[in-house]
Amino acid sequence: LTEDGVEHYGWYNVGRGDTDDEKEEKVDDRRRAPISWSKDSRRFALVRSDQREVDELWVIHSVGNDRPELETYKYDMPGEENVTQNEVWIYDLETRETVQVDDDPWKDQSMSVLSDQQFVYPDSDEPRRSVWLSDDSDELWFMRLSRDRHRTDVIVADAATGEVLRTVVEDRMNTYMETAPIVKLAGGDFLWWSERDGWAHIYRYGADGTVRGRLTEGPFSVQSILGVDESTGSVFFMAAGREEGQDPYYQHLYRVGLDGSGLRLMNPGEFDSRVSSSESRGFFVENHSRVNTVPTSRVLNARGDVVVELEEADFSQLMAAGYQFPEPFTVKADDGITDLYGVMYRPFDFDSTAVYPIVEYVYPGPQTESVSKAFSTNRYEVGLAQFGMVVITIGNRGGHPSRSKWYHNYGYGNLRDYGLADKKAAAEQLADRHDFIDLQRVGIYGHSGGGFMSTAAMLVYPDFFKVAVSSAGNHQNDIYNRWWSETHHGVKEVVDDEGEVTFEYDIDGNAELAANLKGHLLLTTGDVDNNVHPANTYRMAEALVRAGKRFDFFLFPGQRHGFGNMSDYWFWLRAEYFVKHLLGDPHWNVDILPLQGERPRSR
């Protein structure tokens, strides 16, 4: 169908993950094109990305091959002039011609083709075919998002000519904007999800862009739209934070009329739930639990009545093995006002008369927090506690998007420090509350953004946090990926007198604070991490060396961002580091017996 694709400006861009030699071997491989079809199958559309001017990045595969091999890939970094450019193209199967959508772009904007939400049962093997929002092949709906993510437009184009016909949504904010799939209704109206009033809610639009009204409002956040039953005029959605007195992260199922009337909670109870629906939206399978309850599954009808109780998980063997549920808790943020929600993991042989070090497992957000709401074994947190520590996870302002826009965007413009005061305040309040917590022995650890945060905590509060284990951290966000860094920290769009647009980006990193280190710090990274490049950890290590600081460093050979099949090794390395420096036990055998089937391999 096309013959004009070139490297880094093709009709399908190969992502990261292959060495240069592997790319050569796969040059003739066929791949499924990322296209979206018109409903009459006459035309399809796709986003074509031009990465020809984007700079390259590299990792070296030193193990697993005869000779070390190079992996080269394109990688957009924040503040750079040459970044990925998006175009929307439409192919006509009758004329065999392509047209480019003639959008008047914002510089460096992102573009996406908007697709109708096709019903597919969860875990189904049915092919997921992306189809246009419009009912025919005459009009294509697409979205554009400005580089600073302050502006979003939904635009309708003539599919035959590529000419823009109308703009149906214009959303504007002074921080970054989140988006969600559009839900198209019969007759042309559609549902739009927006945080424009500070909370995530559903709005109804006409096909011409007229706002017909809002379906939800108030101090809670709509998480997703499950579906619409137009025969009854009902919209089913998941939301968090509406039920007074509950953890605001608990998600529940709701129903509301297409006119915004009759909002109803369908699965009341103090728990977090995950729900999937039938195609008719007449029935819903709900799974609910808390971190300290047994998961339960049941079927609800469209009124919220329980049709059948499916199953309650059998924890008898888990409990017989000595398992104990963790403890949810609430503390105040450093401002003394905002509620923060966490989970505490204690040793199963907990002694209330003893005193334990406290260790925080952290992830700063802003796209999530490292705090479980539904039941999970959380084997690494539970496992670490069994060495004789109290392990906690706790949210922070600027973390999870399930709360208000203010809460979510608290760290905008201060991506290094924003969550640290809340982590410190949480440990202090728990120590005031519980005599068994020793505030002189505070540890902290995290991965990726948590690796970044745990090191930052040691450098911003060096007299409070005594030990940190930081893995795969994006310590220098000026060399992390452009989307994450520019979105969550901010990038400034500058227009000069001639109308030329440039972008300015400036962010604090951990390396600048290296001289502050007082405690014990272990840095780790995978040597082929093509997400958070090892250079982040190397630059942190270099700064510590130049500051004359002792620290520990570990490199996982052949490992990507998640450490893959070395994750269990990483758990034992981390646990031993805390045992050595918080419990004062430096005595370890060279053999990690649980990784050797309890049989030493040493001779």
pLDDT tens digits for range 363-411: 998 989 999 999 999 999 999 999 999 999 999 999 999 999 999 999 9
Question: Side chain identity at 1, as an amino acid letter?
Answer: L
Instruction: Determine the pLDDT at residue 603.
Output: 60
Instruction: Determine the pLDDT at residue 237.
Output: 98
Q: What is the percent of the chain with per-residue pLDDT over 90, rounded to a whole number?
A: 87
User: What CATH number is associated with residue 336?
Assistant: 3.40.50.1820
Listed residues 179, 210, 225: the one ending a domain: 179
Mean pLDDT of 75-99: 96
CB atoms inside a 10 Å sphere around CB 3: 4
Listed residues 127, 147, 179: the one ending a domain: 179
Per the CB < 8 A criterion, the answer to whether 1 and 97 are in contact is no
* Confidence grade of residue 601 (pLDDT, cut at 50, 70, 90): low
Number of C-alpha atoms within 13 angstroms, CB side, residue 485? 26
Mean pLDDT (the chain, rounded): 95
Which structural domain range is residue 561 located in?
326-475+510-596
Per the CB < 8 A criterion, the answer to whether 398 and 408 are in contact is yes
Give the C-alpha distances (Å, rounded to integers) separating 213 from 170, 172, 192, 279: 15, 18, 11, 26
Q: Is the pLDDT of residue 114 over 90?
A: yes
* HEC assignment per residue over 115-134: EECCCCCCCCCCCCCCEECC
Task: For residue range 421-430, list pLDDT tens digits in order.
Answer: 999 999 999 9
The verdict on residue 442 lying in a domain is: yes
C-alpha to C-alpha distance for 460 and 299, rounded to whole angstroms: 50
C-alpha to C-alpha distance for 105 and 119, rounded to whole angstroms: 33
Q: Is the pLDDT of residue 13 over 90?
A: no
Q: State both tokens at 106.
A: 């914002």
At residue 254, what are phi and psi to the nearest 5 degrees?
A: -130, 160
Q: State both tokens at 362.
A: 């952290």
Mean pLDDT of 162-170: 96
Instruction: Determine the pLDDT at residue 464.
Output: 99
Mean pLDDT of 463-490: 97
Number of C-alpha atoms within 13 angstroms, CB side, residue 85? 14
* Confidence grade of residue 123 (pLDDT, cut at 50, 70, 90): confident
Per the CB < 8 A criterion, the answer to whether 379 and 434 are in contact is no
**Of 414, 384, 523, 520, residue with least CA distance to 477:** 414
Mean pLDDT of 254-265: 98
C-alpha to C-alpha distance for 382 and 437, rounded to whole angstroms: 17
C-alpha to C-alpha distance for 369 and 240, rounded to whole angstroms: 15
Give the C-alpha distances (Å, rounded to integers) separating 488 from 76, 237, 252, 500: 15, 26, 27, 25
Pairing of strands 437-447, 467-471: parallel
Q: What is the percent of the chain with per-residue pLDDT over 70, rounded to a whole number?
A: 99
Listed residues 153, 179, 205: the one ending a domain: 179
The verdict on residue 208 lying in a domain is: no
Residue 417 DSSP one-character state: T
Q: Is the pLDDT of residue 215 over 80?
A: yes
The verdict on residue 396 lying in a domain is: yes
Give the C-alpha distances (Å, rounded to integers) separating 289 from 20, 251, 292, 375: 47, 11, 8, 6
DSSP calls for 258-273: TTS---EESS-SSSEE
The verdict on residue 231 lying in a domain is: no
Ranges of beta strands (E only) in 195-349 are 201-205, 211-214, 221-229, 234-240, 251-257, 264-265, 272-277, 283-289, 296-301, 306-312, 327-332, 339-345
The verdict on residue 517 lying in a domain is: yes
CB atoms inside a 10 Å sphere around CB 401: 20
The verdict on residue 209 lying in a domain is: no
C-alpha to C-alpha distance for 578 and 276, rounded to whole angstroms: 41
Residue whose structure tokens are 């927090």: 369
Per the CB < 8 A criterion, the answer to whether 552 and 523 are in contact is yes
Least confident of 6-10, 77-81, 311-315: 6-10
Q: Is the pLDDT of residue 600 over 70?
A: no
The verdict on residue 84 lying in a domain is: yes
Report the number of distinct structural domains present in the chain. 2
**Of 360, 354, 416, residue with least CA distance to 385:** 360
Q: Is the pLDDT of residue 20 over 90?
A: no
Q: State both tokens at 120.
A: 């597919």
C-alpha to C-alpha distance for 451 and 364, rounded to whole angstroms: 10
The verdict on residue 268 lying in a domain is: no
Per the CB < 8 A criterion, the answer to whether 473 and 455 are in contact is yes
Least confident of 4-13, 410-419, 549-558: 4-13
